Chains A and B, each alone.
Chain A
Amino acid sequence: MADPVLSIRDLTVEIPTRHGILRPVDRVSYDIAQGEILGVVGESGAGKSMAGNAVIGLLTPPAHIAGGEIRLNGQRIDTLGPRALRRLRGKDIGMVFQDPLTSLNPLIRIGDQLTETMLTHLDISRKEAEARAIAALDEVGIPGAARRIDSYPHEFSGGMRQRVVIALALCAEPSLVIADEPTTALDVSVQAQIIALLKRLCRERGTAVMLITHDMGVIAETADRVAVMYAGRLAELGPVRDVLTKPQHPYTHGLMASTPLASRGQARLHQIPGAMPRLDAVPDGCAFHPRCPAAQARCTASPRPVAQDGAAACWFPRIKQEVS
């Protein structure tokens, strides 16, 4: 396999507070190859978005990267100065935000937002940028792109706006797109379209995608590989088929078992007992052990198990066991 577009090793993000240091991202490692879609799933507060923000350098102080490394196309970016980082990340990373209502400047015509982005990062003339902006809108399925280019964001519906945001994220030809819950704010009927669009465009261009979501359905449909996060840690990482059908980590297993499935015909949904620990009270050892049905003495003690590609962060992984 060629060099991955994005490579994260032992990434740790810390937030110092008066109750001690919180680690919303704790020694997380994963790679995303060219043209690959990596789904990052987990509950709210599991550190999915925080990891994404660390990659694009948009962590808001006091949160900061405390360890590990991030490489984009082989170049280390977590140690770059703000100026070099600004140049690099804008060009190489596109971002699709959760809420299309706030991710477009309400007072700037969408055409101008597109051309501005392109002119900043591509060496092209204004005319060319405008032509490309129209092409980009056309490509994301906005009818009458040449006319809509002069529209303001409020003249679009939520789904249409998210299409514009996708065009915006892709127009500077980035090698990586980070989509942070791109469909959460949308109607269910539109969600599938948007996901399909994102998938198709990234496939065509060979863009790597980090798809952050808590929707297992979206992951199953879209992602090539999936990273499951729990309490800031990687619980499991592997090809989407393996993780979804043969989860090794008891947490993933619990998650899958609690997904409603028509074929299962169960009266009540399965539940994982308890709740994810608060970040200031992550237990020693495996963070999941208080809720884990298979926990043993070793799970409660340091050092904790760390996930590798294809190997869950569990001392006693469930091997080759289909979710019933």
Chain B
Amino acid sequence: MTDHPAPPKDLPKDPSRLRIALQSDFFYSFRRSPVAVVSAVIVLTMVLAALFAPLIAPTNPFDPASLNLMNGFTPPSTPNAFTGDSFVLGTDDQGRDVLSTILYGMRISLFVGLAAVLFAMVLGISLGLLSGYAGGWTDTVIMRAADVQLTFPSILVAMLIFGVAKGVTPVEYRDQMAIWVLIVAIGLSDWVQFARVVRGATLVEKNKDYVAAARLIGRRPGAIMMRHILPNVLSPVLVIATISLALAIIAEATLSFLGVGAPPTQPSLGTLIRIGQGFLFSGEWWILFFPAITLLTLALSVNLLGDWLRDALNPRLR
């Protein structure tokens, strides 16, 4: 059948990738949702602020040379009684600028959150794929492990891991290890939902004919999982990842608040809140208030973004 009319020569050129992206349903639904746009702008601003904290922050709160103890407890936007220095969001007991500590704290919070979600994602996706595709006792072992993990609160899992890790790390490395232990601890307490969702989607996909066709042409199970099934189960993963990010940031703050997370030398938002809560009832409210508001805004924006993403990727709600 080679006698088709030749396609016309002056076919329109394929549109560029940016153009395709801007015209997609996905982008359209984004533009149509004010909540999504606002939260995306907030998240983006905060990520950029955290990323460029050293450039934006008025002072480096972790450089002892830049600190003046006389500046301690300066209220927001009020000149200090002794030095005359003024700070937008005030200072803490050590005279550190609260705005700067928040910017640096957001770096830690976002980094821990992102890394923990990434870790949970890799772990959860791998185990979920394996579980769904292999079936049988592999499936049983992995899913029972997941069930067991769900029977106690994830914060407990994280604290347990954190405690054990702290016990086996030499004292001088503890502060450096703390961040990584946090990531592993939060990641390990968070992989279950990724695994469950991926397993469910894999069970659906693996019975489709294209997987049978791939098996028929002699693809190995590993290759089928990675090339054929994984890309087809990714969209729910994206939604969970976003919502998990908010949860991971909160989990990190909780652990840090409880004193088992980021050390005071590398304070995250949670550590800042813990430091601040000691001064709440003595009138220095700003030390607690601003980090807490930042955490709330960040977590809420990420969550709202996740909600929109879930609706946008759900074909039934289009």
A147 at the interface (CB under 8 A from B): yes
A143 CB contact (under 8 Å) in B4, B210, B231: B4
Residue of B nearest to A172 (CB): B217
- List the B side residues contacting A56 at CB < 8 Å: 216
A166 to chain B, nearest CB (A): 12
Q: Contact mask A57-98 → B, CB, 8 Å, 1/0?
A: 010000000000000000000000000001101110101011
A121–B217 Cα distance when bound, in Å, is: 8
B212 at the interface (CB under 8 A from A): yes
A102 touches B217 (CB 8 A): no
Interface with B: A19-27, A134-142, A252-260, A265-273, which one?
A134-142
B34 at the interface (CB under 8 A from A): no
B232 CB contact (under 8 Å) in A106, A116, A141: A106
A103 at the interface (CB under 8 A from B): yes
A56–B216 Cα distance when bound, in Å, is: 7
B210 touches A120 (CB 8 A): no
- List the A side residues contacting B214 at CB < 8 Å: 105
B173 to chain A, nearest CB (A): 44
- List the A side residues contacting B215 at CB < 8 Å: 58, 86
B233 to chain A, nearest CB (A): 10
With A138-B2, A140-B1 in contact, do A58 and B208 touch (Cβ < 8 Å)? no
With A106-B232, A138-B2, A144-B7 in contact, do A120 and B213 touch (Cβ < 8 Å)? no
B92 to chain A, nearest CB (A): 51
A93 touches B216 (CB 8 A): yes
- List the A side residues contacting B11 at CB < 8 Å: 147
- List the A side residues contacting B231 at CB < 8 Å: 107
With A105-B228, A107-B232, A144-B7 in contact, do A99 and B1 touch (Cβ < 8 Å)? no
A191 at the interface (CB under 8 A from B): no
A90 touches B218 (CB 8 A): yes
B63 at the interface (CB under 8 A from A): no
A209 at the interface (CB under 8 A from B): no
A189–B244 Cα distance when bound, in Å, is: 50
A180 to chain B, nearest CB (A): 9
- List the B side residues contacting A98 at CB < 8 Å: 209
Q: Contact mask B56-73 → A, CB, 8 Å, 1/0?
A: 000000000000000000
B216 touches A58 (CB 8 A): yes
A143–B7 Cα distance when bound, in Å, is: 8
A-B pair count, CB < 8 Å, reads: 64
B210 touches A105 (CB 8 A): yes
Residue of B nearest to A171 (CB): B217
B213 touches A95 (CB 8 A): yes
A223 at the interface (CB under 8 A from B): no
A200–B219 Cα distance when bound, in Å, is: 29
Residue of B nearest to A140 (CB): B1
B213 CB contact (under 8 Å) in A97, A107, A121: A97
A219–B272 Cα distance when bound, in Å, is: 77
- List the B side residues contacting A170 at CB < 8 Å: none
A300 at the interface (CB under 8 A from B): no
A97–B4 Cα distance when bound, in Å, is: 27
With A103-B213, A138-B2 in contact, do A87 and B218 touch (Cβ < 8 Å)? yes
With A98-B209, A103-B208 in contact, do A139 and B1 touch (Cβ < 8 Å)? yes
- List the A side residues contacting B212 at CB < 8 Å: 58, 95, 97, 103
A103 touches B210 (CB 8 A): yes
A117–B11 Cα distance when bound, in Å, is: 30
A168 at the interface (CB under 8 A from B): yes
- List the B side residues contacting A90 at CB < 8 Å: 216-218
A105 touches B232 (CB 8 A): yes
With A86-B218, A138-B1, A172-B217 in contact, do A102 and B209 touch (Cβ < 8 Å)? yes
A227 at the interface (CB under 8 A from B): no
A210 to chain B, nearest CB (A): 14
A243 at the interface (CB under 8 A from B): no
B210 CB contact (under 8 Å) in A58, A104, A140: A104
- List the B side residues contacting A139 at CB < 8 Å: 1-2
A120 touches B4 (CB 8 A): no
A172–B208 Cα distance when bound, in Å, is: 21
A172–B219 Cα distance when bound, in Å, is: 14
- List the B side residues contacting A106 at CB < 8 Å: 210, 232
A106–B210 Cα distance when bound, in Å, is: 9
Q: A58-B215, A89-B218, A143-B7 are in contact. List 15 more A-B contacts (CB 8 A).
A: A58-B216, A95-B216, A97-B209, A99-B209, A103-B208, A104-B210, A105-B210, A105-B228, A106-B232, A108-B227, A116-B217, A138-B1, A138-B4, A140-B1, A143-B5
Closest 8 CB pairs of A and B: A90-B218, A103-B209, A97-B209, A90-B217, A102-B208, A86-B218, A141-B1, A105-B210
A residues with a Cβ closer than 8 A to B are 56, 58, 86-87, 89-91, 93, 95, 97-99, 102-108, 116-117, 120-121, 138-141, 143-144, 147, 168, 172
B residues with a Cβ closer than 8 A to A are 1-2, 4-5, 7, 11, 208-210, 212-219, 227-228, 231-232
Offer 18 A-B interface pairs, CB within 8 angstroms, sorted by A.
A56-B216, A58-B216, A86-B215, A87-B218, A89-B218, A90-B216, A97-B209, A97-B213, A102-B209, A103-B208, A104-B210, A107-B232, A108-B228, A120-B217, A121-B217, A143-B4, A143-B5, A143-B7
